[in-house]
Structure 1
Amino acid sequence: MSDARAIEGVTQTLLQVIDDAVNTGPQAFPGGVKVIAQPPHEVQTDIEALQVNLFLYRTEIAAALRNEDPLDIAPGESAQPPLPLALHYLITPYVQGGKDLDAHRLLGLASRAVHEQSQLSHTQLHDSAAFSNVSTQLDGIRITWQPLAENDIYSLWSAFQTPYRLSAAFEVRVILIDSRRPPRTPVPVIRRGDNDEGPTARADTASPFPELEAAVPMLGQTAARPGESVDLRGINLSAHTAAATLTHPLLPDPETLTSTAATADTVTVEVPAAAPAGLWSASVALTNTVDGQDITTVTNAVPLAVAPRITSAMPITVARNAQGEVDITLACAPPVIAGQQAFLILGGRAIPEDRMIAGNPVTGGALSFTVPDAPVGKHVVRLRVAGIDSLLVDRSQPTPRFDDTQTVTVTS
């Protein structure tokens, strides 16, 4: 890797490459050319007749290597990733007297020298920049030409606030600057588990841990009602004791229930009689005794829908008033708690509870609904609390059917 003077070392090496190209060989200028590294607006053209300026105008992170571990760390060790940099340079010739042909010649000599250096060698870096350890970097430092669009040229030279000069741009990457944070070098592992057996391979892809897959209400209903049993189904659920935890988003404390029956793939619990309607989450804590010590494992959580129950005498008959409205009052259990919405589903229409229309919270077990333009006839009804509907379908028979008692008859 490289130290913090790596950028300086690369620039110094490029200066040497350009200096050798413009001052040696049959095409070199007789009087010599001064090779410098200055901001373009600070180059003094009235002192030297011939100059070539190398300017580092931008540095950027080489994103592909931003989180890579250092190449020189041993297996099992970890270290702060090095800082990967890409350097962008500008070569600009300066010739007194406006002799553009001489400037073209200088640019050609310098560009050819850089072009021949597709990669800066370790020897070049060491000889030109002995003050830095950039020559020991394991990754090669490569040179790539960079075309500058017209807008890029305008923006670049406008920032210098100096007249444009014929130039060539190229990129040098990647320079890896070491972090000063020491690497973590843990001691070797002597034993890999009991009897030095190492990891255990399984012949299947099933999880060895207890896991819930679904909460299934009785009779295959879409939701469970308070007081009914629910099967929490999954895998690896065998345990000495099993306890379910039910959590409701509007209640501060969860409900903890001891299972009435538990097998390897099912844990059966009973929904508390006072459990409010809504979407609960259910998980299971499995406790086994290992070497005289109780070990408890908690499964993942699965959703459990708890439905309200209409406790009013059903079916009912109501008459429309002069405006075509009907007022329907229902009792439900468990009561609606603050923060829940309540709707009466009459046929295919969802009617909000009267307090919702007034902008007030709905609470309690007594609900009132005003149905505008109520159609005359017999309609099936459902009570929807917190998005969960009361059970309308009777699944106790081989063929499911609507519950005939869950109806409202509207008369004129």
Structure 2
Amino acid sequence: MSDEEAIAAVTKTLSGLVLGALADVPGAGVDTRPLDELVDGTRDKLVNLYLFQADVDGALRDADQPGLAPGESGGPPFPLTLHYLVTPFVKRDPGLDAQRLLARAVRVLNDNPVLQRGELAAFAPESDVAKQLDRIRITWQPFGEKDIYSLWTAFQTPYRMSVAYEVGVVLIDGHRPPTVPVPVLTRGADDRGPVAQGFLPLGLPALDAAVPPGGQPAVRGGETAVLRGSGLAAPAEVRLSHPLLPAPVAVAPDHVTGTQVQFTVPVGTAAGLWSAGFSLAGQLTNEVPLAVAPRITHLPAQVGRHDDGSAQIDVRYSPAALPGQPVLLVLDGRAVPPDPLPHGVPRPPGHARFTVPDAAPGRHLVRLRVAGVDSLLVDRSGTRPVFDPSQAVTVL
């Protein structure tokens, strides 16, 4: 996830890296102003880092919004590739000082081909760009002689030695909530969908799928899931990995056969999409996706409408969302983001408040979506699936 501060945050981070490379050069600094404003600058030694162009990343332009389930639609994040011109400025250049400054800037950008999340958070704490899953890479941008002279001519400034870099991709998240339909209760006879096998067993340990209990789309902490595959045996362990956690979680299996592994998801496991693998005598299998759902622990049975037609719903849930995980309230087929908090104020763990505009009076089905995984709205424990009556709110 990235907010409107993402572009400026990337520029501040690059400036901070270059400034660190100039720490032992007396009087040297970094500037980001346009080139024509630096001709009469006050500093004797300066590296200018100027953002001269922003392009749309074609590979991600039409990518789906992260966290959407099949059948849902929403505005994708806007992917940008930023183009920077790096130029050394030295007054009364006594020789090769400008070239030395340029070499320091090139060295530090070459040593940091990927902007680390810690660097982005340290140099630009006001932005959420450090939390986006896609990494931001720094790439040398070749410039032809005609191209770079044309750029300098546009500023009506005498040419100076310059190099260019591409930095991306930077994702700008939209504010338009996705369209989220109510889930289908059954799919065909006996609620069985199509089954396809696109490979031949090779005799090596391999996983085919992670199956939540009771035909549900996701498992919750404390519940039992099954890994299906081939060549599985004990003793072994299940390894659960999450992109926002530094290390995988090792889980001892409850029961192992040659074709499936039964294990209990630890209580408190963060909601979201995990990768489940199987470690057999130090040999790791492939990983398969496993969705872990949040659990709504408190939901008001009734809420009143305000004078403007909106309704406010306080939801408590478990486990708390990890930093950087988006949280949405899905009211019937409508997705509502949480109320914004003042800048720098962390969201209370396991608690979110949602203001639903134009809330229609009546009973509404409620789901809580954390990082693309919904709380379990459908109860499949009986002979036929029904909606969980506890996950509903009445607007008066």
Normalising by structure 1, we get a TM-score of 0.46
The structure having more radius of gyration, on CA atoms, is: 1
Where relative contact order (Cα < 8 A, 6+ residues apart) is larger, the structure is 2
